[in-house]
Amino acid sequence: MKVKHFLWVLTLSSSLFVAGCVPAYSNGYGYGSPYGAYDPYDRGGYDPYYGSRSPYGYGGYDDRSPGERQRDLAHEHAKEHNKLERKYDKAQDRLERQKQEAEAKVYRKYGGDTANPDYQRERAKIDQRYNHKREKVDRNLGKKHRDVHDDLHDAHRRW
C-alpha cells in the first residue's frame, strides 16, 4: 500500500512540476513547437513572409491609393514642418537669452553708464554678433527645410 501511495504522489508531483515549468507565453504545445495555436490577439514576432507587403518578401509594393499616398505625404510634410519650427523657435529663444546675458554683462562692466563710447561700441559688437548668429540659424534651418522637401518628394516619386 505504501509503494502504491508513493507512486501516485510521485506521478502527481512530477506532472505538477512539469506543468509549472511551461512558459506563460507558450502556444499550448510547448515552447518552440512547430505546431502553432491560433491566437487572434497575438501581435508578436516577425514572420519573414508576412512581414512584407510584397508576396516575394522584398521590394516596396504599396497598395494605397494615390489619394492616400498624397494624404500621407502631406501629413509627413506637416510633421516635419512642425519639427523644424520648434527647432527654429528653440534656437531663436536661446540666442535671445544669450544676447540679453551679454548685454547685462556689458552694462554691469560699465556701471550702467550707457553714454560711455566703449559701452556703445561693445553693444554694437554684441548686436552684430547675434545678428550674424540669427542669420546662420536661418540659413541652416532653411537648408534642412529644403533637404526635407527633397527627401519627401523623392519618396513620392518612388511610388
Give the pLDDT score at 140.
87
Residue spans of beta strands (DSSP E) within 47-146:
none
Give the pLDDT score at 33.
47
Q: Residue 144 above 80 pLDDT? A: yes
Give the pLDDT score at 145.
81
Average pLDDT of span 13-37: 56
Cell of 139: 540659413
**Mean pLDDT across the chain, nearest whole number?**
76
DSSP 107: H
Give the pLDDT score at 141.
85
Angstrom distance (rounded) from CA 80 to CA 150: 12
Report the phi/psi class of residue 30: left, alpha or beta, with left for phi > 0 and alpha for psi in -120 to 50.
Answer: left
Residues 72, 64 contacting (CB under 8 angstroms): yes
Q: Residue 7 above 80 pLDDT? A: no
Q: Give the pLDDT confidence of 56-111 residue by residue, as tens digits.
A: 555 556 677 878 878 888 888 888 888 888 988 999 999 999 999 999 999 999 99
